[in-house]
Amino acid sequence: MFGDFLKALGQLGDRRFLKVVGLGVLLSLALLFGVYVLFVQALDWITPDTLTLPWLGEVAWVDSLIGWGSFFLMLGLSVFLMVPVASAFSGLFLDDVAQAVEDRYHPTLPRTPRLPIMDTLIDSVNFFGVLVAVNLLALLLYAFVGPFAPLMFWAVNGYLLGREYFQMVAMRRLGRQGARDLRKRHAGQVWIAGMLMAAPLSIPLVNLVIPVLGVATFTHLFHRLKNQRG
């Protein structure tokens, strides 16, 4: 599976890969900015412009303090939230990445019809919700596992990324049930490949290309496991 990842990495300069990376980042930044604006507006609505404190009297800079505090809070959360957001948006363009891989490495295969847009959208939204919920829960648990927090992050996100990406890629050729059956037969390899994707997720900026590399890697993995099955 390291070979699958290296093949995906070697194709990163493909214009179809770059297009999906660019769209995923732009849409993700737009969504995060929108969430930040709504968050600030909500705080502004529920907090007073001035606050009276014992011994200090009226404090007029509460609004500015909350504004800057919310900015740094969202900046910190974006390190974790950018991953599920970018992953969900990249899922909308999965066909383009998978087809680019097959055009280069499996040119004799017939093209598959594009997945229905509503199915793709529903799957992406569901995946986004699961990733956000699990990562927010994991944020609470990281404090209790100490130095093992990175391992927990890789294990949890590796399972989720492996499960979802392999399923989405395999569905193009085998349908939903066939993809599920193949994934279950090779659950260990799929999980390890997912952890290989999850490891760079903690590196800012690098994590933005991981969704595309993940789709490409699991496209290679799918074809290798399918051929092993015969």
Q: Where are the domains of the chain?
A: 2-27+81-229
Look at residue 30 and give its three-state secondary structure. Answer: helix
pLDDT of residue 133: 80
For range 195-220, the mean pLDDT: 81
Which of the two residues, 147 and 54, has the higher pLDDT score? 147
The percentage of residues in the chain with a pLDDT greater than 90, rounded to a whole number, is 14
Asked if residue 80 has pLDDT above 70, the reply is no
> What single string gives the DSSP state of each residue in 103-131?
HHH-TTSPPPPPPPHHHHHHHHHHHHHHH
pTM equals 0.74
* Sign of the dihedral defined by the CA atoms of residues 139, 140, 141, 143, in that order: positive
Asked if residue 147 has pLDDT above 60, the reply is yes
* Length reported for the chain: 230
For the chain, the average pLDDT equals 77
Which of the two residues, 104 and 54, has the higher pLDDT score? 104
Confidence band (pLDDT; 50, 70, 90) for 57?
very low
Cβ-contact 125, 164 below 8 angstroms: no
pLDDT of residue 56: 46
pLDDT of residue 218: 92
pLDDT of residue 53: 46
Q: By mean pLDDT, which of 2-6, 87-91, 186-190 is the weakest?
A: 87-91
For range 109-121, the mean pLDDT: 77
Give the separation between CA 51 and CA 48, rounded to whole angstroms: 7
Confidence band (pLDDT; 50, 70, 90) for 76?
low
pLDDT of residue 207: 73
Q: Beta strands of 88-196 (E only): which ranges?
A: none
Picking from 95, 84, 82, 104, the residue whose alpha carbon sits closest to that of residue 168 is 95
pLDDT of residue 220: 93
Cβ-contact 89, 24 below 8 angstroms: yes
pLDDT of residue 89: 61
